[in-house]
Structure 1
Amino acid sequence: MNYMERYKSWLKDKNIDEKTKEELKKISDEKEIQDRFYKDLEFGTAGLRGKLGAGTNRMNIYTVSKATQGFANFINKQSKEYAERGVAIAHDSRHMSKEFALDTALIFAANGIKAFLFEDLRPTPELSFSILHLKTAGGIVITASHNPKEYNGYKAYWEDGAQITSKIADPLTEEINNVNDFSTIKRISKEEAIEKGLLKIIGKEIDDIYIEKVKKLSITDDVDKDLCVVYTPLNGTGNKPVRRVLKERGFLNVHVVPEQENPDPDFTTVGYPNPEDTKAFKYSINLGKSVDADLLVATDPDCDRLAIMVKHNNEYVSFSGNQTGAILIKYIIDGLKGKNALPKNGAIIKSIVTGDLGKRIGQENGITTFETLTGFKNICGKENEITKNGEYELIFGYEESIGFKAGDFVKDKDAVISSMLLVEAAAYYKKRGKTLKDVLDGLFEEFGYYLENNFSIILEGIEGQERIKRIMKEYRNLYPKEFSGIKMIKYIDYLEMKEHDLVNNSEKETDVPKSNVLRYFFEDGSWYALRPSGTEPKLKVYIYSIGKTMEDAKEKLNAIKEKMMEIIDSVE
């Protein structure tokens, strides 16, 4: 069916409620109808994600229930044991999150699959932990992470506690696509599900065990616990767990931004609740100045990402995910070395679009760095692969997009863990007369000035998606061979899974799975990459330079951007 036929079929469908049909009837712009119905929401790096509203290309009770019925069918095709183990379910503070989570639980229950449903909002990483702790067959968290209020999402996890990879996603997607009639979706009432033992409400008992495990990741207690911290959960799920773990670790000088403390699905004070954007720190900076805070910490609404600002020379300085990750790597490695606990087979895992400073620190300390595709499902998949037989021991996993993990009891990025470690690191260095900015500057002096300019080109709608495809296609033929006299030495096209060595005129297969990513490397260590987002209408650009001085690195960043944007802008 084309988009108009799909639209009309929803208006005629007896299984679609009247309120939804009224919403559809009020749409006067055919382009809006087209955007809502030209495709089904697809699984990207984070499952389903889209704008709330009626339509096949929107997040609503119908698209969520279709995905859940498909997931239930998939589980029931595995074995009876998988159904008995059940599924853990959590949700964030967004519009419809609680409703989607309950409906998801009742659909699983109606299909004979036990549902462990959190009583109220919880961080995404705690959902991952609960899967491993309860030994469920999988899990679901209803969240759109850091997206604006108009969005929601549906992240699917498997028994290893990590987001589903293609091995599971492909047959699961097939099952979801086979659910063609909403009348085939099974449901029972909450009361019946509880009575039959198919729905269990969970909460504090899981929280307590999770927080205890987080605290055990502490590196040292030799810190200044008077460190003044301002924390904002950005009206999301981090408020209680982050404050609790800091309090129990003895950090009592913690101030929470009052306007962003409690759940707010409209994110009234911030609009775009992404702590990677320094605008999200507006209220934190104001509070920080009034209490003379040393450190500002922000977590996104589902509390799997974290960003910081540090007071240095009486100004609050922002840190990128690459820089924060490098500092955490240094702190963890130095701390383990101090206790003679640094493993000889230690490993760092980062995404292919994450910078190299953390890798360089690891290299200096005999730590191997592995690279994988974007998304913590891939980082944790790699973790499972390299640690399975004890060949390597994971020290740290991270992405440039402010996602970090330590420990092995959560198979996802975790801002509760990273909040504790960041506060602890800042307190450790404060006791020694340093800020985290001093630590970063020391890394630059030791290893070189690693700078970055990462940004997104937003191209919405069908036209935008088509232009992104054209840009990627054209760029494969038109990429610049040098900038400012610095020559390219190789490039990797992950779509064809080949690394092209331009110096030796040779090529080899990559050990990273297939993906539509282009990456270009230069003789001085600078490089850049292009990647269409899997969940948002964006072309993501990552530019990295390394220089002998700050100015040198900045000039290289600008030169690379100018060259590549000439090509991107030329593609209509």
Structure 2
Amino acid sequence: MPQSLKSIRELADDWLALDQNENTRKQITDLLAAGNVAELDRRLRTRIQFGTAGLRAKLEAGFSRMNELTVLQASQGLSVYVAGAVPDALKRGIVIGYDHRHESAEFARLTACAFLHKGFVVHFLDKLVHTPLVPFAVDRLHAACGVMVTASHNPASANGYKVYWSNGCQIVKPRDKGIAAAIDDNLEPWIWDKTLVDKSPLVNRPLTEIADQYYAQLAVLAGDTKINSMMRFMYTPMHGVGGPYAERAAALLGAVPDKNMFVVPEQAEPDPDFPTVEFPNPEEKGALKLAMASSDKIDISLVVANDPDADRFSAAVKGADGKWMQLTGNELGILFAYFLFSTMDTTKFELSKLAMLNSTASSQILRSFAETEGFYYEETLTGFKWLGNRAIELEAQGYNVVFAFEEAIGYMFPGIHDKDGIGAMMMFLKLLRWIEDTVSGTKMTRAQGIIIVLEQIYKKYGYFENKNSYYVALDPRVTDSVFNYIRTKSDGAAAAEPSGNNEYRYPSRVGTRQVTYWRDLTLGYDSSTPDHVPVLPVSKSSEMITFALDSAVRVTIRGSGTEPKLKVYIEAKSTVSREASRQIADEVWDDLEREWFRPGETGLLRP
């Protein structure tokens, strides 16, 4: 019988027949005893969905949650799928890593258990690792796949299960569907033994070797650059696993702990409860407040930060006026791109084969940069699963992909096909040394130097200003209704579906601004292509619209795949100043909120 038609008692019995964890079994039996039908229904009625982001959910008992049973089921299905899809998969094996979150180590051991039972070699990274080390290890060990147990920057109550394919990239469609089907076919636990990883001859523990190779790759990026011996900076791993990795990376540039590199003491050690931050994400407003305060106490003017699994990077600098300026993801992205291009010997390769990428939600200044200088640029869908896989495809075509980024503080450098917050931190310190040597001089503050370089970039390639934020949508139906409202808000524009279905029509204007371009990657429509079919992949299961206004504003609206959010990215371009661009972006935000999003009326909540 389908799960949707079963009674609560039947669903609970199904759970209790499979679960072998005493804690999660008790959660369900306690809810039964209390007659809490609503909560049981929330936890048991639907299954946690496996997608291109793997799994991510709250840590609780139930088919819709992250727990030992759902992790074991996912691992069984994944092992079956990989064994059938990757040549020599069992011999090549799986890389498994985990971070410090609640249950991460146990989930990693159960993942190993399923793959060992299937006959796979298991490359078990047996200490806390940062996420980028798993795809790096998959690539270096030529493994069939990899799993990293982490929920990245999500709240303490969550955990997740991120899957990497044999090319060292996160999975993309349609592999997620194939894996999900294999999971559904293998729900009965084969074996439940978290100690199997300690006694199986199929297990090896290559962490030391892989870490050495990883830092050797970072050393290539560092080159012979050394930081100014007087530089001091404050680092925060945000209660995560990044500390020892960041220290070793900074040492490649000559940074010495407690002389150049200082660590926020309250956030230095891994803590799965994240006690000093509401959201353990350095991108969130206020997340770096403690790091800034710690810097103020000892007269430090630079903060660098990773998220808890250290695949994202952020930075803030203090100006001569004593005020802190946190750089946005797009500002960091274009600074990295400009720095890399400016320090290359472009006489040694064909410029048209140099490539940089970013996601469709990120700043278009990289496109303008590429068009002006003559190197290759491409945008992808949001997420490094798309950026990494596309980079591999371009490299196979002879391109030298030196950089990729997205505005959500994710940066990819050569040697790994995923975002890497540790590598980004090291490259940012290298960037600052370059600014000291070429721009700012000894009498300027670090903030002034960065502002000068940004102004050089904007003056040459255009003043791009972003206003990016989100609305909270606790019920997915709210997000669906908002997108449906946008598509059916007909005001005389052309139909937005190439099949000829006239039910959906895109708006012709927002406020006083004319819509000049429209792309709907949910329905599969692009107004700029001859057949109106998008170049980027279409997915009916995820909501995403991009449009332009008066050819000077670009807006992307999408539903988050991992959080209860409707995300909005607005970018305005001006030839005059950042202030002019910022004013345009603010006006468009206000128009969209009034005309389309209508918080309160629609159920969307302001953050």
TM-score, scaled relative to structure 2 = 0.88
Residue 536 of structure 1 corresponds to: 563
Q: CA deviation at 1:187?
A: 4.5
What is residue 44 of structure 2 aligned with on the other side? 37
How far off its partner does 1:342 sit? 7.7
Question: Measured at CA, do residues 365 and 78 of structure 1 come closer, stay the same or move farther in structure 2, by a change above 3 Å?
Answer: same
1:441–1:105 CA distance, 2 compared to 1 (3 A): same
Amino acid aligned to 2:479:
I
Shift of 1:77: 2.3
- The 5 A counterparts of 1:327-476 are 327-337=335-345, 343-390=351-398, 392-407=399-414, 409-431=415-437, 432-433=439-440, 435-460=449-474, 464-476=475-487
AA aligned to 2:367 is K
Q: Tell me which of 518, 529, 536 is aligned to 1:512.
A: 536
Q: Which runs of 5+ in 2 are unaligned?
A: 441-447, 490-505
State the Cα distance separating 1:205 from its structure 2 match.
1.6
Seen in structure 2, the aligned counterparts of structure 1 residues 559 and 31 have a Cα distance that, compared at 3 Å, is: farther
What do the CA deviations read for 1:417-462 (whole angstroms, capped 9, x no partner)?
11111111112212342532332233233333211111121122xx
2:103 equivalent to 1:89? no
Amino acid across the alignment from 1:246 = A
Q: Aligned equivalents of 2:118 and 2:346: distance in 1? A: 53
Distance 2:78 2:59 in 1: 21
**1:385 CA displacement:** 1.4
Name the aligned partner's letter for residue 386 of structure 1: L
Aligned counterparts of 1:225 and 1:128: Cα–Cα separation in 2: 33
> How far 1:189 moved relative to its partner?
6.0
1:288 maps to what in 2? Answer: 295
Q: Do structure 1's residue 186 and structure 2's residue 191 form an aligned pair?
A: yes
* Higher mean displacement: 34-43 or 51-60: 34-43
Residue identity matched to 2:559: P
> Structure 1 79/560 Cα, relative in aligned 2: closer, same or farther at 3 Å?
closer
User: 1:140-164: per-residue Cα shift (whole Å, max 9, x none)?
Assistant: 0000000010000000111100011
Match of 1:143 in 2: 150
Per-residue deviation, 1:364: 2.2
User: Equivalents in 1 of 2:18, 2:255: separation in Å?
Assistant: 56
Percent identity, please: 27
Give the partner amino acid of 2:565. Answer: K
- Report matched runs for 1:149-298 at 5 Å: 149-182=156-189, 185-188=190-193, 190=195, 193=197, 195-218=199-222, 221=225, 224-252=228-256, 253-298=260-305
Q: Does 1:565 align with 2:593?
A: yes
Residue pair 2:226, 2:253 contacting (<8 A) in 1 also: no
1:544 to 1:226, Cα distance in 2 relative to 1, 3 A:
same
Question: In 2, are the aligned partners of 1:219 and 1:332 still within 8 Å (CA)?
Answer: no
Q: Are 1:49 and 2:76 an aligned pair? A: no
| Structure-2 change in CA distance of 1:14 and 1:174 (3 Å) | closer
The alignment partner of 2:174 has SS state of: helix
SS at match of 1:166: coil
Task: Tell me which residue corresponds to 1:482.
Answer: 509
Structure 1 residue runs without a partner (length 5+): none
CA distance in 2, matches of 1:385, 1:11: 43
Higher mean C-alpha deviation, range 339-348 or range 524-533: 339-348
Once residues 197 and 130 of structure 2 are traced to their aligned partners in structure 1, the CA distance between those partners, rounded to angstroms, is 25
> Aligned in 2, Cα 1:277/1:79: closer, same or farther, shift over 3 Å?
closer
The whole-number CA distance in structure 2 between the counterparts of 1:483 and 1:225 is 52
Query: Per-residue displacement from partner, 1:82-101 (whole Å, max 9, x unpaired)?
Result: 11111000011110111111
Structure 1 residues 10 and 259: CA distance shift in structure 2, 3 A: farther
Please state if 1:116 is matched with 2:123: yes
Instruction: Output one character per residue of 1:117-152: Cα deviation in whole Å (capped at 9) or x when no partner.
Output: 112111111111000111110000000000010000
Contact 1:497 1:512 in 2 (8 A): no
Greater displacement, 77-86 / 97-106 = 77-86
Distance in 1, matches of 2:193 and 2:537, equals 40
- The CA deviation at 1:247 is 1.1
Shift of 1:522: 1.8
Cα gap change, 1:545 to 1:80, in 2 (>3 Å) = closer
Report if the CA contact (8 A) 2:51-2:180 is conserved.
no
The structure showing larger relative contact order (alpha-carbon pairs under 8 Å, at least 6 residues apart) is 1
Aligned to 1:497: 524
Give the aligned residue type for 1:260. Q
Query: Partners in 1 of 2:330 and 2:17 — Cα distance?
Result: 49
* Offset from partner CA, 1:468-498 (integer Å, 9 cap, x none): 1111111112265334643221110112322
Q: What corresponds to 1:21 in structure 2?
A: 25
**What CA distance in whole angstroms lies between the structure 2 residues aligned with 1:118 and 1:78?**
24
Distance change (3 Å), C-alpha of 1:510 and 1:79: closer
